[in-house]
Amino acid sequence: MINKTIRIALTKGRLENKTVDLLDKIGYDVSELRDKGRRLILSIPGENIEVVLAKAADVITYVEHGVCDIGVVGKDTIMEHGGKFFEISDLGFGRCKFALAGKKGGNFYEGYGVKTVATKYPAVTRNFFESKGMDVDIVKIEGSVELAPLVGLADGIVDIVETGTTLKENGLEVWEDVAPISARLIVNTVSMKLKQERIAEIVKQIEENL
């Protein structure tokens, strides 16, 4: 017998509140989600839906392994992490972009030497420069990537830009857009077949309330 409970993995943090608002708008009882304390597994009463809260890359891992049927995760994580799942819809929130940035007034493409790029997203950066046929050295940084060009570690950065405030306040600017980003709904490939009806119903409810 197939377990009929649908388990949804939500990205903790920035996307979390927007996703909970969306579930609320559908008419689900999100009281546990709004008052979760430190709990990581929450239920939506009366819907046979369980919600788990995870870090972005782990949302993909849980969905790929089939322990969660549905996931809500940023396109940034999907582009960096990849994986085998269906990307069903663009939820339209969590909008920002990947951009190549560096010191204000600078030009990444001038000169002949191989350039160094600092980023939290080495796969996205590699793909971007490969598509241009350009060889760059990539340095993986864990956070506050804007620091790297300021202290001379890199010629430029590939990072997420939302309002542009972090770049501006540090004397940096966008040199080139790399890719737009927003929250996406992903579904496990096996769940898509075995729990087709219920998943289609939930996806429809979500899309109607975007």
Q: Which residues bind ligand PRP (CB under 6 A)?
A: 120, 143-146, 159-166
What whole-number distance in Å separates Cα of residue 91 and Cα of residue 151?
37
What whole-number distance in Å separates Cα of residue 13 and Cα of residue 20?
11
Nearer Cβ to ligand PRP (160/185): 160
Tokens of 60: 């993909």
Nearer Cβ to ligand PRP (11/188): 11
Nearer Cβ to ligand PRP (155/159): 159
Q: How far is the CB of 68 from ligand PRP (least distance, A)?
A: 23
* Residues 8 and 52: beta-carbon distance below 8 Å: yes
Give which of 158, 96, 153, 106 is closest to 127, Cα–Cα: 158
88 SS3 class: strand
Q: How far is the CB of 129 from ligand PRP (least distance, A)?
A: 19
Nearer Cβ to ligand PRP (42/167): 167
Q: How far is the CB of 160 from ligand PRP (least distance, A)?
A: 4
* Residues 12 and 94: beta-carbon distance below 8 Å: no
Helix axis angle for 196-208 and 14-26, nearest 10°, is: 100
Q: How far is the CB of 174 from ligand PRP (least distance, A)?
A: 9
Q: What angle do CA 108, 112, 114 make, to 5 degrees?
A: 70
Q: How far is the CB of 156 from ligand PRP (least distance, A)?
A: 14
Nearer Cβ to ligand PRP (135/169): 169
Q: How far is the CB of 36 from ligand PRP (least distance, A)?
A: 21
Residue nearest to ligand PRP (CB): 143
Nearer Cβ to ligand PRP (161/186): 161
* Residues 52 and 40: beta-carbon distance below 8 Å: yes
What whole-number distance in Å separates Cα of residue 6 and Cα of residue 40?
16
